Structure 1
Amino acid sequence: MSSAGGSKYQYLAALSVNIISISYGAFCGWPSSSFLELTAEDSPLDTGPLTSRDQGWVASNICLGGLFGTLLFTWLADKIGRKWCLMWMALPNLLGWVIIPFARNPMHLIIARFIGGAAGGGCFTVIPIYIAELASDNIRGTLGVFLVLTCNAGVVLAFVLGYYFNYAQVSWIVSSLSFVFVGCFWFMPETPQHLAKINKIEEAERSLRYYRNIKTNPAKELSEELQLELQKLRTTEKSDADADGDDNEATGVTWADFAEGKTRKAFLIGFGLISFNQLCGCFAMLNYTAEIFKQAGSSIEPTMAAIIVGFIQLLGTYTSTVLVERLGRKLLLLVSAVGIGLGQSAMGIYSYFQVLGWHVSTFSWVPIAGFSFMLFLAAVGLLSLPFLVISEIMPQKIRSTAIMLLMSVLWLISTCAIKLIPAFIESLGMHGTVFMFASLSFSAAVFIAVFVPETKGKSVEAILASL
């Protein structure tokens, strides 16, 4: 093997770990077609058709589960390591799917969604940490976007399966992904940084050699870059050994750790990105795809509309994986935020003209085009890249805690947005609601342009130094 190593095992690890995010994506997409069956007169539930109130709780409870999973699995990631924490996520992921076919009332579905959401909270918290700690600087962006790409693939999978199978059959089919995940991910080693952090330096070096595909080369034959990575692991071991004691240094994080200027700035940038990820309204509006198509006078049936939207998102996320290491994170985020605002503005103008009583049926394609344009550019940047950027800009010591706090904020905003959007539409109208989200999207563009650093190809140390 060349001393330069290779990246094939990093790609293999990223693909293996994200099998579970395919399953979580299917959780997100499951209500789209399943609610049509569960709200019908011949609903399979013993309590009869789902009411609108029940639908709201079943749909949004996945976010509350995500909040719980964020707290639980971030704690586990430091206690038992990234790998075994991720392995344990297969359990709630499997349980969430298995409960659904046996559900006899809305509460059973709410419990299933909460448990499945907990696995999702772990995915969006621990997988970015895992990838950031094993990936080379030159491919970290591509591997980081795999999380949202596979999640969107899961959404499309649920839409397509829901078109051909009933809600219980979909659950059984997707539940098999938990076993596929365990079978594939079982063979991946722990991340080098975590092993060094707990003073297992020899295992850390073996892990680094595995992920860099240099398992048999002696250190003196390695490239300068890889020798530097090995040296960093040994430095981590030394600083941990010189610390006061025991596990506190490895896992204890205090408020003082956030007080240092650059660390505080990194956290605030992450807070802004995560907040705008939800405040742009794209994720909340996804839950109203059928209503948007209906208002536009589209003849496309709701299940087919959902499939089309899912593929648009998937295409946008794939575009992000192709461009993220070429154009950089900041440019994609900026273009995404501006594009979302423009797409929403077109939708809002059409809706406002409808309210004024103007004859706009000739332009019924405008809201559909605006919605599709919005979702495509959202997937390219603002819905996919914040998770990558926050894992890149956070110092290693506070990375787990910071991502836990930021993801908790995301789940809370997401829950509120999904629950409150009907109230916004009622009080502001569809046009007012969309204009509100458009103004927040343009605000996100200003924030990104002013505060967000470019992280492409840079180490965490270099990124922090640039803040």
Structure 2
Amino acid sequence: MSCVKVQPPETQTVSRAPQFTAAFIVNLIAFTSGFSTGWPATAIPYLEGPESPIPLTPDQSSWIISLLCLVAAFTTPFAAFLPDKIGRKKTGYLVAVSHLICWTLITLATNVIMLYIARTFSGLCSVGVFIFAPTYVVEIAVDQIRGTLGTFVIALCNSGIALSYVIGWLLTYEQVCYVNLCLPVIFILLFYWLPETPKYLIYSGKFEEAKKSLQWFRGRSYDITAEYNQIKASFDNNEPRAPLVPLKEIFASKSILRGLFIVLVLAANHQLCGIYPVLSYTVTIFRESGSDISPNLSSVIVGSLLVVGNVTASFLIDRAGRRRLLIISDSIMSVSLMCIGVYFYLKSIGADVSSIGWLPVTSLSIFVVALSIGVGPMLYLVISEIIPPQIKYVANAMALTLVWFIAFLGAKFFNNLADLIGVHSTFWIFSLCCLLGMLVIIFQLPETKGKSLKEIERLLEGKCKKQEKIHDLPNV
């Protein structure tokens, strides 16, 4: 049996401007989170230096970098249900207030304990961002631009990382803190006039408000009747009401099992490529490489290319497809990391690397562009597309917990691992993980571009093999 795309009966055009505007505003909180992620790259070298107001040891620095991830890993399973408990809007406000607390503490910090507490709040913020923002965007977007809008969360996050490198280089430590205090305030002021998502309003029984919300996102001239009835019918049929399903039902469903397997592999792939320690220690890595290019300038170049890659992804994701971009992304990242490892290996054996001093920044630049067009933004979109509503929050919690836990291990023990086996071997391990991730994508992930969620479920069950060639999971 083949999968046939059911076309909507309406010939009218949906206004996309409200959806793009809302997606941008919602993901400004991801932009703020990006500042928190990128902040240590320039702040830690300063705090470890002779002019530091709070002198740090390398071990204390590693905790400041990694605490965000550790807190996020432990709180994700609970936070995953927050948007359904209090609503998407209230969750957004809560995340913004947590950001304000974080940067107030960093601004006023007089000792390392205050920095630890601030980074704990930063971890809570980051959890909220990557649960709240994708949920909101997926629920307001039409299928045709769902993929493009789904890249905004990573695009804005990476833009925040890039700008944090720039202002960390150009401004003083205190001035950076003041900039970070302003960002959540801007988000709150803009987010205030956005409506709650139609799906949550229907879920809450606020049907008239849901109609007004859907009309706002589709444009005044669009007839929302058919789409509204379809959303309401899905709730009447109890499709997305229960976030939990019996364990035996999960293991009995081939599509759910395949979807969970793919999501967990993508989650591991997302961090085992080494992106978090690379972004957190960017200045340090370039300083250790001995490159002729300034470490701060190198970090700005890398951060800028993160943004370039995400802008490219936003144009490609609904054209080239999810699967193809993931394969290209992993393959290029693997080669780039291998090259970085080769450079550090030659340096470790005393070879003259002066003639290839450009290699680390070039390879790392290619790496971050490849990451941002595939592995970086795709995880959150794929979760929303291949996981059925009944276990969406469970899958979100599992995937994001795994992402944050691996990120914690990378941030906390990157230097220890580099000291133990060498920086070159560490990058080669990252390269191998990218290669393994690519193989799983090739053999397991169906293309979801332009397909409805129902069609994707049928693909995962193997009922559309003429359109997608994917292999069964191995028997365990």
TM-score w.r.t. length of structure 1: 0.91
Of residues 61, 64, 71, the one that matches 1:58 is 64
Q: Does 1:38 align with 2:36?
A: no
Q: Which residue of 2 is the match for residue 224 of structure 1?
A: none
1:217-276 deviation line (CA, Å, top 9, x unaligned) = 474xxxxxxx2x333223124324xx9xxxx95455443453322122111111110111
Q: Does 1:130 align with 2:103?
A: no
Would the aligned equivalents of 2:65 and 2:412 in 1 still touch at CA under 8 Å?
no
Of residues 419, 427, 439, the one that matches 2:420 is 427
Alignment of 1:14-413 (within 5 A): 14-45=23-54, 49-214=55-220, 217=223, 219=225, 227=226, 229-240=227-238, 249-256=241-248, 258-259=250-251, 260-413=253-406
| Counterpart-to-counterpart distance in 1, 2:201 and 2:221 | 17
Would the aligned equivalents of 2:37 and 2:161 in 1 still touch at CA under 8 Å?
yes
Q: Which residue of 1 is the match for residue 4 of structure 2?
A: none
1:302-334 deviation line (CA, Å, top 9, x unaligned) = 322221211111111111112111111111111
| Counterpart-to-counterpart distance in 2, 1:301 and 1:464 | 49
* Number of residue pairs matched by the alignment: 450
1:117-155 deviation line (CA, Å, top 9, x unaligned) = 211111112211221121111101111111111111111
Amino acid at match of 2:371: A
Would the aligned equivalents of 1:100 and 1:168 in 2 still touch at CA under 8 Å?
no
What secondary structure, in the 3-state scheme, does the structure 1 residue paired with 2:396 have?
helix
Distance change (3 Å), C-alpha of 1:113 and 1:257: farther
What secondary structure, in the 3-state scheme, does the structure 1 residue paired with 2:421 have?
helix
Would the aligned equivalents of 1:196 and 1:236 in 2 still touch at CA under 8 Å?
no
Q: CA RMSD in A?
A: 2.2
Would the aligned equivalents of 1:278 and 1:410 in 2 still touch at CA under 8 Å?
yes
Further displaced range: 273-282 or 366-375: 366-375
Distance change (3 Å), C-alpha of 1:266 and 1:252: closer
Amino acid at match of 2:409: C
| Counterpart-to-counterpart distance in 1, 2:245 and 2:113 | 38
| Counterpart-to-counterpart distance in 2, 1:286 and 1:237 | 42
Q: Does 1:447 align with 2:440?
A: yes
Distance change (3 Å), C-alpha of 1:322 and 1:249: closer
Amino acid at match of 1:433: T
1:352-407 deviation line (CA, Å, top 9, x unaligned) = 23334433322222222212111211111112211111122111222122212210
Would the aligned equivalents of 1:278 and 1:284 in 2 still touch at CA under 8 Å?
no
Percent identity for Structure 1 against Structure 2? 32
Amino acid at match of 1:235: A
Of residues 7, 10, 13, the one that matches 1:4 is 13
Amino acid at match of 1:464: E
| Counterpart-to-counterpart distance in 2, 1:142 and 1:287 | 27
| Counterpart-to-counterpart distance in 2, 1:299 and 1:268 | 44
Further displaced range: 395-404 or 50-59: 395-404
| Counterpart-to-counterpart distance in 2, 1:216 and 1:320 | 29
Would the aligned equivalents of 1:68 and 1:121 in 2 still touch at CA under 8 Å?
no
Gaps of at least 5 residues in structure 1 are 220-226
What secondary structure, in the 3-state scheme, does the structure 2 residue paired with 1:358 have?
coil
What secondary structure, in the 3-state scheme, does the structure 1 residue paired with 2:213 have?
helix
How far is the alpha carbon of 1:71 from its aligned partner? Answer: 3.5
Distance change (3 Å), C-alpha of 1:296 and 1:203: same
Q: Which residue of 1 is the match for residue 466 of structure 2?
A: none
| Counterpart-to-counterpart distance in 2, 1:168 and 1:282 | 27
Further displaced range: 161-170 or 292-301: 292-301
Amino acid at match of 1:211: F
| Counterpart-to-counterpart distance in 2, 1:183 and 1:426 | 47
Amino acid at match of 2:298: A
| Counterpart-to-counterpart distance in 2, 1:256 and 1:134 | 32
Amino acid at match of 1:378: L
How far is the alpha carbon of 1:164 from its aligned partner? Answer: 2.7
| Counterpart-to-counterpart distance in 1, 2:242 and 2:166 | 45
How far is the alpha carbon of 1:177 from its aligned partner? Answer: 1.6
| Counterpart-to-counterpart distance in 2, 1:216 and 1:392 | 25
Amino acid at match of 1:231: N
Would the aligned equivalents of 2:30 and 2:129 in 1 still touch at CA under 8 Å?
yes
Gaps of at least 5 residues in structure 2 are 1-10, 461-476
What secondary structure, in the 3-state scheme, does the structure 2 residue paired with 1:4 have?
coil
Further displaced range: 345-354 or 262-271: 345-354
Further displaced range: 79-88 or 252-261: 252-261
What secondary structure, in the 3-state scheme, does the structure 2 residue paired with 1:438 have?
helix
How far is the alpha carbon of 1:350 from its aligned partner? Answer: 2.5
| Counterpart-to-counterpart distance in 2, 1:249 and 1:131 | 19
What secondary structure, in the 3-state scheme, does the structure 2 residue paired with 1:124 have?
helix
What secondary structure, in the 3-state scheme, does the structure 1 residue paired with 2:375 have?
coil
| Counterpart-to-counterpart distance in 2, 1:403 and 1:114 | 21
Amino acid at match of 1:321: S
What secondary structure, in the 3-state scheme, does the structure 1 residue paired with 2:49 have?
coil
Would the aligned equivalents of 2:292 and 2:358 in 1 still touch at CA under 8 Å?
no
What secondary structure, in the 3-state scheme, does the structure 2 residue paired with 1:187 have?
coil
